[in-house]
Amino acid sequence: MGNRVVVTGVGPVTPIGIGRDAFWMALQAGRSGVRNVEDVVDLEGIDVKIGAPVDGFDPLDYIDPKKVRRLDRSTQFALAAARLALQDGGIDLAKCSLDRFGVIAGTGIGGMQTFAENFTTLIERGPRRVSPFFVPRMMPNAICGEISIEHGLKGSNFGVVSACASGTHAIGLAAKLIQAGDIDYALAGGAEAVLLTVTYAGFARMGALSGRNDRPEAASRPFDLNRDGFVMGEGSGILLLESYEHAKARGATIYAAIDGFGMSADASHITSPIETGAGAAQAMTMALRSAGLTPDTVDYVNAHGTSTLPNDRVESRAIRLALGGTADTVKISATKSQVGHLLGAAGGVEAIATVLSMHHGFIPATLNYEIPDPECDLDYTLESIQMPIQVALSNSFGFGGQNASLLFQSIKES
């Protein structure tokens, strides 16, 4: 089986809190980070006026002032999240083999803010006014590259781009590298910052966004009959992963083990999930199989739960396909009901929510579920609940039909 992989540090930068404690307290309290965002993005001519921004984020709290202007907002989020994960993990980099310390980070779109700003500059002021930092700020792999440069991490390093499954793919692939013995440690997760006019226009034209402008905090409503689309958010979620042996040797706090990972493709449609749920179910089944576990062992599923009509319906079917009779009793919740949809960062933030739920024995409620949908007939944890969680799945499904599922298991430290 190889090295067992554990989570020893978390770095959330989210619309409801920055850092482990602020994020977890907001999750427990059921706080929503969704609000009117016309103060941060020009939405003239666009019907949607809501989103989930990371308020109160100052990159200078985490990054050298000389470097900040060379970084896209998404990379600023990732650098902050990585620093928080390292601090939370209490790891001393001076005692680590840095050539065995990897960085695998995902993003759905990359440096879109940089692209939008420089394209506008090109049109209005000409090519000589385009920033020389345009390409290195925009490229999707800037996130993992900048994290490695910041901390001198010389192990496996690459970016993952699989839409809303990017963060989960990054974590799963990092775990595989540690399991195989290629690296001993990794920073893994995702980042996204696309609260921009052009992005809103594109998603709105698709009909993918919630238009519940009158009640922003109630707009993200996974699995509810009256859901009308996702709420776009921003942020980053980076986890510190390491082999169990290294974690034990340095006396680290272990949140959970990553014992399973599955990924699959719907091979059906570029934006809509396959209606049977077979692709998403395959990813969950693979995660269980790779962990050597059966469906009846699963206590909790942190659902992808986007609050779109097709996704929530299909994910409910997929959970039934993957878990069989256990689907009727397993607890399910959707972090997006509080933070919105962070696209490529969603998997990282939701993995953090999952391991913190396991660590504290507490499942946050799925907000805004008011009217049952007959096609979404599982237990979506409408009220938060205190309960031990031994095995949990965290799901992410992206445009392109790309599916990923992580299996976490509690580990008793002796």
pLDDT value of residue 161: 98
Which superfamily is assigned to 5-249 in CATH? Answer: Thiolase/Chalcone synthase (3.40.47.10)
Q: Looking at the predicted structure, is the pLDDT value of residue 311 above 50?
A: yes
State yes or no: is 164 an active-site residue: yes
- Which whole number is the average pLDDT over 142-167? 98
pLDDT value of residue 240: 99
pTM for this prediction: 0.98
Position 1 confidence tier, pLDDT thresholds 50, 70, 90: low
The answer to whether 232 and 199 have CB atoms below 8 angstroms apart is yes
The answer to whether 351 and 104 have CB atoms below 8 angstroms apart is no
State yes or no: is 304 an active-site residue: yes
Of 77, 399, 132, nearest to 269 by C-alpha is 399
Catalytic residue among 246, 341, 359, 376: 341
pLDDT value of residue 412: 74
Which superfamily is assigned to 261-409 in CATH? Answer: Thiolase/Chalcone synthase (3.40.47.10)
Q: Looking at the predicted structure, is the pLDDT value of residue 362 above 90?
A: yes
Helix (H, G, I), strand (E, B) or coil at 277: coil
DSSP H or E segment with residue 256: strand 256-265
Give the mean pLDDT of the chain: 97
Q: Looking at the predicted structure, is the pLDDT value of residue 399 above 80?
A: yes
Catalytic residue among 151, 304, 359, 376: 304
Q: Looking at the predicted structure, is the pLDDT value of residue 346 above 60?
A: yes
- Residue ranges of the alpha helices (H) in 126-277? 134-138, 142-151, 166-179, 197-206, 244-249
β 385-386/402-409 pair status: unpaired
Catalytic residue among 96, 144, 164, 376: 164
Residue span(s) of the chain under CATH 3.40.47.10 come to 5-249, 261-409
**% residues pLDDT > 70 (the chain):** 99
State yes or no: is 376 an active-site residue: no
Position 2 confidence tier, pLDDT thresholds 50, 70, 90: confident
φ/ψ of residue 21, rounded to 5? -70, -45
Query: What own/partner pairs with CB < 8 Å and gap ≥ 24 does 204-210 have?
Result: 204/46, 204/47, 204/48, 206/271, 208/271, 208/308, 209/48, 210/48, 210/50, 210/307
pLDDT in tens, 160-205: 999 999 999 999 999 999 999 999 999 999 999 999 999 999 999 9
pLDDT value of residue 207: 96
Q: Looking at the predicted structure, is the pLDDT value of residue 310 above 80?
A: yes
pLDDT value of residue 414: 43
Of 361, 271, 339, nearest to 311 by C-alpha is 271
